[in-house]
Amino acid sequence: MAFLKVVPLEEALKVINSFSLKPKIEEIKLEEALGRVLAEDIESPMDVPPFDRSTVDGYAVKSKDTWGAGETNPVKLKVVGEINAGDMPKIELKDGESAYISTGAPLPKGADAVIPFEEVDRENEWVVIYKPVYPDYGVMKAGADVPKGKLLLKKGTKLSFKETALLSAVGFEKVKVFAKPKVAVISTGNEIILPGKDLKYGQIYDINGRAISDAIRELGGEAYFLGIARDDRESLKEKILEGLKYDMIILSGGASGGIRDLTASIIEELGEIKVHGIAIQPGKPTIIGLIEGKPIFGLPGYPTSCLTNFTLLVAPLIKKLLGQSQEYRKVKKKLAHKVFSVKGRRQFLPVRIEDDKAVPILKGSGAVTSFIDADGFIEVPENVEILDEGEEVEVILFGV
User: Binding to a copy of itself (CB under 8 A): which residues in 55-84?
Assistant: 55, 57, 84
What single DSSP character describes residue 105? P
Q: Which of 110, 168, 222, 352 binds a copy of itself (CB under 8 A)?
A: 168
Alpha-carbon separation of residue 321 from 16, 17, 91, 262, 395 (angstroms): 12, 11, 55, 29, 24
C-alpha–C-alpha distance, residues 216 and 315, integer Å: 8
Q: Which of 173, 234, 292, 327 binds a copy of itself (CB under 8 A)?
A: 173
Q: Which of 301, 316, 323, 350 binds a copy of itself (CB under 8 A)?
A: 301
For residue 172, state whether it binds a copy of itself (rule: CB under 8 A): yes
C-alpha–C-alpha distance, residues 339 and 337, integer Å: 7
| Cβ-Cβ contacts under 8 Å for 196 (sequence gap 6 or more) | none
What single DSSP character describes residue 108? P
Scored b (16 or more CB within 10 A) or e, 194-209 reads eeeeeeeeeeeebbbb
Give the orientation angle of helix 233-243 with respect to helix 258-270, to 10 degrees.
50
CB of 246 to a copy of itself, least distance (A): 16
CB of 181 to a copy of itself, least distance (A): 16
Q: Give the bridge partners for 325, in sequence order.
A: none
Stretch that binds a copy of itself, among 169-177, 244-252, 317-325, 335-343 (CB under 8 A): 169-177
Q: Which of 148, 217, 345, 357 binds a copy of itself (CB under 8 A)?
A: 217
Q: With respect to a copy of itself, which residue has the nearer C-beta, 198 or 327?
A: 198
Q: Which of 43, 218, 232, 356 binds a copy of itself (CB under 8 A)?
A: 218
For residue 340, the tally of other CB atoms under 10 A from its CB is 12
CB of 400 to a copy of itself, least distance (A): 10
Alpha-carbon separation of residue 207 from 134, 239, 320, 399 (angstroms): 68, 18, 26, 15
**What is the contact mask toward a copy of itself in residues 94 to 123, using x (rule: CB under 8 A)?**
--------xxxxx-----------------
Complete DSSP assignment for 250-268: EEE--SSSHHHHHHHHHHH
Q: Which of 16, 140, 336, 378 binds a copy of itself (CB under 8 A)?
A: 140
For residue 7, the tally of other CB atoms under 10 A from its CB is 17
Q: Which of 72, 88, 234, 292 binds a copy of itself (CB under 8 A)?
A: 88
For residue 210, state whether it binds a copy of itself (rule: CB under 8 A): yes
C-alpha–C-alpha distance, residues 350 and 374, integer Å: 6
Stretch that binds a copy of itself, among 5-13, 188-196, 264-272, 378-386 (CB under 8 A): 188-196
For residue 241, state whether it binds a copy of itself (rule: CB under 8 A): no
Stretch that binds a copy of itself, among 1-9, 71-79, 124-132, 157-165 (CB under 8 A): 157-165
For residue 298, state whether it binds a copy of itself (rule: CB under 8 A): no
**What is the contact mask toward a copy of itself in residues 344 to 383, using x (rule: CB under 8 A)?**
-------------------xx-xxxx-xx-----------
Q: Which of 100, 137, 178, 225 binds a copy of itself (CB under 8 A)?
A: 225
Find the angle CA(191)-CA(364)-CA(348) to the nearest 5 degrees.
Answer: 110
Q: With respect to a copy of itself, which residue has the nearer C-beta, 205 or 328?
A: 205
C-alpha–C-alpha distance, residues 277 and 393, integer Å: 26
Q: Which of 98, 190, 309, 311 binds a copy of itself (CB under 8 A)?
A: 190
**What is the contact mask toward a copy of itself in residues 244 to 263, using x (rule: CB under 8 A)?**
----------xxxxx-----
| Cβ-Cβ contacts under 8 Å for 9 (sequence gap 6 or more) | 278, 279, 280, 283, 312, 346
CB of 117 to a copy of itself, least distance (A): 10
Q: How many residues bind a copy of itself (CB under 8 A)?
A: 85
Task: Name the phi and psi angles at 318, rounded to 5.
Answer: -65, -40
C-alpha–C-alpha distance, residues 267 and 274, integer Å: 10
CB of 197 to a copy of itself, least distance (A): 8
**What is the contact mask toward a copy of itself in residues 313 to 332, using x (rule: CB under 8 A)?**
--------------------
